[in-house]
Amino acid sequence: MKDNLMKESLIKNGSLKSDDLFVKLLSYHVQLIDDVFVESVMKKIDSAFKFRQWVLSIFTVLGCIGGLIGLSMLWGSSKAVFESVLLSGYSLLFFTLIVVAVVVFFTWVLNEEFETP
């Protein structure tokens, strides 16, 4: 093969049949079929998925904690206002609907993230 390639690569009379030579030289000569590689890829995908789950969970918890802290800070100074507003029937119903809508929304958003790949 070496001799044939060398002959083919010589510039003969100013012309060179380079295209066939290039195809022969630059074609992929080996098929890389490796189950270990496939397993590595799938493990990486799984790790990336779990990392996203952790990040979402942590920031959701932090958000809830922040919300509770904010609510507790407001409660003391606005207790009277809250009592007069929330204890009315329509306000309580409206507030309940808001809470349910938020819970449904977050369940819908995070459900996809918690699906196992």
Question: Does 113 help bind another protein (rule: CB under 8 A)?
Answer: no
Considering beta carbons, is residue 26 or 80 the nearer one to another protein?
Answer: 26
Considering beta carbons, is residue 6 or 87 the nearer one to another protein?
Answer: 6
Question: Does 28 help bind another protein (rule: CB under 8 A)?
Answer: yes
Question: Does 31 help bind another protein (rule: CB under 8 A)?
Answer: yes
Confirm if 91 and 81 have CB atoms less than 8 A apart. no
What three-state secondary structure class fits 48? helix
What part of residues 53-92 is at the interface with another protein (CB under 8 A)? none
Residue span binding another protein (CB under 8 A) among the ranges 22-30, 73-81, 93-101, 103-111: 22-30
Question: Does 44 help bind another protein (rule: CB under 8 A)?
Answer: yes
22/114 Cα distance (integer angstroms): 50
Could you tell me the CA-to-CA distances from 8 to 2, 3, 13, 29, 43 in Å, in that order?
10, 8, 12, 19, 46
Could you tell me the CA-to-CA distances from 89 to 19, 26, 86, 92, 102 in Å, in that order?
84, 79, 8, 5, 20
Contacts with another protein, residue ranges (CB under 8 A) = 1-2, 5-6, 9-11, 16, 18, 22-23, 25-35, 37-38, 40-42, 44-46, 48, 115, 117
